């Protein structure tokens, strides 16, 4: 049951390079040149990408400075509606409702008094019949 099994992972590159290749397994010269040129292309691409990554903070800063005086894009009207930052406690909502109702009653009383005063003055001055 407890048999020792070999790892399924291939041997490391250094182990493979340490062993000499048989002549039949050696790649042809044209294939070697092709692999070398491909390797050089990959190395240059890696170097270019590393330079881009290294210079990205500078590029980001330049973009930020270039767009500093520009306005942000317009948002849809649904997004610009004011939202409450947090929900008010019930006692505060009740107090606000009472205050609004008090203002409404006060407004109705003022308009009623104005109408009464205007009617009383109409009895005296006869502006309309």
In a domain, 128, yes or no: yes
In a domain, 124, yes or no: yes
Range of the domain at 32: 26-67
Over 70: is that where the pLDDT of 105 sits?
yes
Over 80: is that where the pLDDT of 116 sits?
yes
**What's the pTM value of the predicted model, to 2 decimals?**
0.34
In a domain, 63, yes or no: yes
| Domain count for the chain | 2
In a domain, 4, yes or no: no
In a domain, 74, yes or no: no
In a domain, 106, yes or no: yes
pLDDT: is 15 or 95 the higher one?
95
Residues 8-15: contacts with CB under 8 Å, at least 24 apart = none
d(Cα 25, Cα 107) in Å, to the nearest integer? 101
Q: What is the DSSP letter of 1?
A: -
CA dihedral (59, 65, 66, 70) positive or negative: positive
Q: pLDDT value at position 31?
A: 84
């Amino acid at each position: 049951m407890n048999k020792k099994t070999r790892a399924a992972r291939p041997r490391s590159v250094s182990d493979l390079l340490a062993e000499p290749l048989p002549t039949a397994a050696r790649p042809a010269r044209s294939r070697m040149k092709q692999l070398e040129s491909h390797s050089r292309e990959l190395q240059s691409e890696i170097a270019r990408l590393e330079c881009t990554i290294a210079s990205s903070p500078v590029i980001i800063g330049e973009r930020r400075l270039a767009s500093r005086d520009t306005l942000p894009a317009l948002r849809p009207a649904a997004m610009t509606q004011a939202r409450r930052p947090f929900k008010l406690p019930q006692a505060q909502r009740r107090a606000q409702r009472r205050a609004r109702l008090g203002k409404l009653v006060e407004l109705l009383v003022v308009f009623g008094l104005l109408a009464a005063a205007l009617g009383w003055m109409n009895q005296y001055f006869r502006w309309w019949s």
